Amino acid sequence: MKARTKGVKALALLSGGLDSTLAVKLMLDQGIDVEAVNFVSPFCLCRRGGCGALEVAKNFNMRLKTINVGEEYLRIVRKPRFGYGRNLNPCIDCRIFMLKKAKKYAEETGASFIFTGEVLGQRPMSQHWKTLGVIEEEAGLKGKILRPLSAKLLPQTEAEKKGIVSRETLLGIEGRSRKKQIRLAEELKVTEYSCPGGGCLLTYKEFASKLKDLFEHKKRVSLKDVQLLKVGRNEAENSLLLRIRMANDYCFEAQDTGSPVTLLQGLKTRTAIEKAAELTAYHSDTKQGVVLVKFGKGRFDRSLRTPIPSQQKVEQLRVTWQKGADA
């Protein structure tokens, strides 16, 4: 049965990755007027904001709304109702959060339905059959989210029942392999997409350890704190660290040798200062002997000489990931 798509508007959740790009293409090919919304979180890994969503929207000549999620999102990451995935990724809460925002935007813009590029069973936590239902219900969108790539394996949505989307043109893809999507992209001549698997720092073990430690030791965590966790590995990042540090932070830098910039937050006790200096010395280019480390608040106006600590000592201080009970 041919759908009545004339004048139908739909809102896509577009990451710019392969799946959401294909979902958009399928809807556009039905003659539906599509606008997309793209969420940019502090944990987004793509260098160009929006994971290439901008390019995809441009390519399809489609309107795109970018929503930057900040402190409100951070609170969800800190205390997710539905727990974490393998690392510190609260995927179920994250999807609910985004869909609630999308719902509001769809109401404002008069979109008849929302659709996503989700594929049944592709992600163990958030794309499981039962979980998709929970997410819909919690977002206040029960039966209202169309997933064009897996629709034939899922109950009919409101848009299909109303006849504004033709179920025959929807697909029944499931599982983790992306072979079918890559083939489909070739068939539909979709060439502009990026980050096929998406990119979220919360799914990275090392970053999750640092963030978990921050949550455990700091009552109020800001976006700036998160930004600090993300940098500190090369010269450009060193100067970024110096720019975005807080007024009370102490900075440390080894003298006359390649050195990272270390930030000390919280109490500046003698022990804390010595430890920060030791870590700076350990990560400097000098590998033995004693290192002169300069430090201070705002300026490097104080200094101390410190021996390079052993690897064992440094490892004891390292923040390591321990899966929580709800992970």
The set of long-range contacts for 169-172, using a CB threshold of 8 Å and a minimum separation of 24, is 169/3, 169/26, 169/29, 169/30, 170/26, 170/146, 171/26
HSE-up (13 A, CA, CB side) for residue 202: 20
165 phi and psi, to 5 degrees? -135, 135
Told to check if 157 binds ligand SF4 by CB under 6 A, we report no
Token pair 């899922």: residue: 154
Instruction: Identify the residue among 87, 150, 157, 203 touching ligand SF4 (CB under 6 A).
Output: 203
Cβ 77 to ligand SF4, closest distance in Å? 8
| Closer CB to ligand SF4, 15 or 112, in the complex | 15
Q: Which stretch binds ligand SF4 (CB under 6 A): 90-98, 103-111, 204-212, 226-234?
A: 90-98
Find out whether 275 and 317 touch, Cβ atoms under 8 Å.
yes
Strands 290-296 and 262-264, sheet pairing: unpaired
Told to check if 238 binds ligand SF4 by CB under 6 A, we report no
Told to check if 211 binds ligand SF4 by CB under 6 A, we report no
Instruction: Identify the residue among 51, 94, 159, 281 touching ligand SF4 (CB under 6 A).
Output: 94
Joined together, the tokens standing for residue 309 give 């600590």
Cβ 130 to ligand SF4, closest distance in Å? 16
Told to check if 38 binds ligand SF4 by CB under 6 A, we report no
Q: Is 308 left (phi over 0), alpha (psi -120 to 50) or beta?
A: beta
| Closer CB to ligand SF4, 77 or 264, in the complex | 77
Told to check if 95 binds ligand SF4 by CB under 6 A, we report yes
- Picking from 52, 51, 67, the residue whose alpha carbon sits closest to that of residue 99 is 67
| Closer CB to ligand SF4, 20 or 89, in the complex | 89
| Closer CB to ligand SF4, 36 or 159, in the complex | 36
Which residues within the stretch 300-319 sit at the binding site for ligand SF4 (CB under 6 A)?
Answer: none
Find out whether 82 and 47 touch, Cβ atoms under 8 Å.
no
Told to check if 21 binds ligand SF4 by CB under 6 A, we report no
Cβ 229 to ligand SF4, closest distance in Å? 15
Instruction: Identify the residue among 20, 38, 116, 126 touching ligand SF4 (CB under 6 A).
Output: 126
| Closer CB to ligand SF4, 91 or 279, in the complex | 91
Strands 113-115 and 145-146, sheet pairing: parallel
- Picking from 51, 53, 37, the residue whose alpha carbon sits closest to that of residue 99 is 37
Binding site for ligand SF4 (CB under 6 A): 89-91, 94-95, 126, 198, 200, 202-203
